[in-house]
């Protein structure tokens, strides 16, 4: 009877496990440039954390991956998707920043150089285990076998030549303090990482300041891009993502400044009305609550008079 019960339990568990497949579908967005587009939803057991845009570029020397995704299982699915497109080997992974949805697929790229800015590696070293544990709590079994794997190469901003491709690496700060954007010179595709969100509310847990982020947007928009790949949200061939980001960041900054000036407490600020023009942006209320918790203490501290003056 015990064996029967165990067998029955395993049989019942198999369908649930079998459903844990990302079914990634690579979409060609330019010559030899491919996108794996995630949803604009929040982390959920139903999506396995696939809320991120990742991609890859097929060069004459091999495949360059842009971000490895939220889990080992995602990274493995990504490698399978790449194999559907090309027989070329994966020769390098470039990480745009250290947040879990972009880097926890590293485990699937054992033996491949994984490159990031020095600041990204340090932040992942400091925060990676805690972020991975949080991902396990949010998406459950999708994370099985996932471990934090640190980059083994340090990137420098500037030109990176791989085979027949010239990749321009931009070092930015606004989202995490160590943010990478990658412009493929041949196609004009700009992988903006999470400096750029589109139709999805931005996240601020590590931002050094909204003013820094706004300056990054100016620098990024000035590059000779033809197609924008935001870290989250749909592609764009025009400047709409930059306009939306500036509008949202400006509103958020003004909201926090006005709240401090009026003496509002944090609970009041998170209940602030969200402008109608942002109604079509995913997760605005959820991310407003998070951004207030991340940023409001800094705004309050900036208004306090020093006691030693």
Average pLDDT of span 264-289: 97
255 in Cβ contact with 298 (< 8 Å) = no
Helix axes 240-262, 210-221, angle to 10 degrees: 160
Per-residue tokens: 136: 């396990």
Is the per-residue pLDDT at 192 higher than 50? yes
pLDDT digits (tens, 9 = 90+) for 20-67: 999 999 999 999 999 999 999 999 999 999 999 999 999 999 999 999
Average pLDDT of span 212-226: 98
User: What's the rounded Cα separation, in Å, for the pair 197 and 152?
Assistant: 28
Per-residue tokens: 179: 């943010």
pLDDT digits (tens, 9 = 90+) for 149-188: 999 999 999 999 999 999 999 999 999 999 999 999 999 9
Is the per-residue pLDDT at 18 higher than 80? no
Confidence band (pLDDT; 50, 70, 90) for 303? Answer: confident
pTM of the prediction? 0.92
Is the per-residue pLDDT at 304 higher than 60? no
Higher pLDDT, 308 or 147: 147
Q: CB-based contacts of 47: which residues, under 8 Å, 6+ apart?
A: 38, 39, 41, 139
């Amino acid at each position: 009877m015990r064996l029967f019960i165990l067998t029955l339990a395993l049989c019942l568990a198999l369908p649930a496990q079998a459903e844990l497949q990302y079914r990634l579908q690579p979409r060609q967005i330019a010559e030899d440039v491919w996108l794996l587009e995630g949803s604009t939803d929040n982390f959920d057991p139903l999506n396995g954390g696939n809320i991120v845009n990742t991609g890859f570029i097929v060069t004459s020397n091999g495949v360059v991956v842009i971000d490895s995704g939220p889990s080992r299982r995602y990274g493995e699915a990504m490698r399978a998707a790449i194999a559907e497109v090309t027989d070329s080997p994966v020769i390098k992974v470039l990480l745009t920043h250290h947040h879990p949805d972009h880097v926890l697929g590293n485990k699937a790229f054992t033996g491949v150089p994984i490159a990031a800015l020095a600041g990204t590696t340090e932040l992942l070293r400091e925060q990676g285990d805690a972020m991975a544990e949080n991902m396990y709590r949010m998406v459950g079994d999708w994370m099985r076998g996932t471990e934090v794997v640190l980059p083994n190469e340090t990137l420098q901003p500037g030109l990176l030549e791989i085979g027949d491709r010239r990749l321009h690496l931009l070092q930015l700060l606004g989202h995490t303090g160590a943010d990478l954007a990658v412009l493929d010179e041949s196609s004009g595709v700009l992988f903006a990482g999470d400096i750029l969100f589109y139709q999805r509310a931005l996240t601020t847990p590590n931002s050094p300041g909204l003013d820094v982020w706004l300056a990054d947007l100016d620098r990024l928009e000035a590059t000779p891009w033809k197609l924008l790949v935001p870290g989250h949200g749909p592609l764009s061939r025009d400047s709409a993502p930059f306009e939306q980001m500036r509008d949202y960041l400006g509103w958020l900054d003004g909201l926090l400044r006005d709240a401090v000036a009026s003496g509002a407490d944090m609970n009041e600020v998170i209940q602030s009305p969200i402008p109608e023009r942002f109604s079509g942006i995913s997760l605005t209320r959820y991310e407003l609550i998070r951004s207030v918790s991340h940023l409001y203490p800094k705004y309050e501290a900036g208004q306090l008079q020093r006691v030693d003056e």
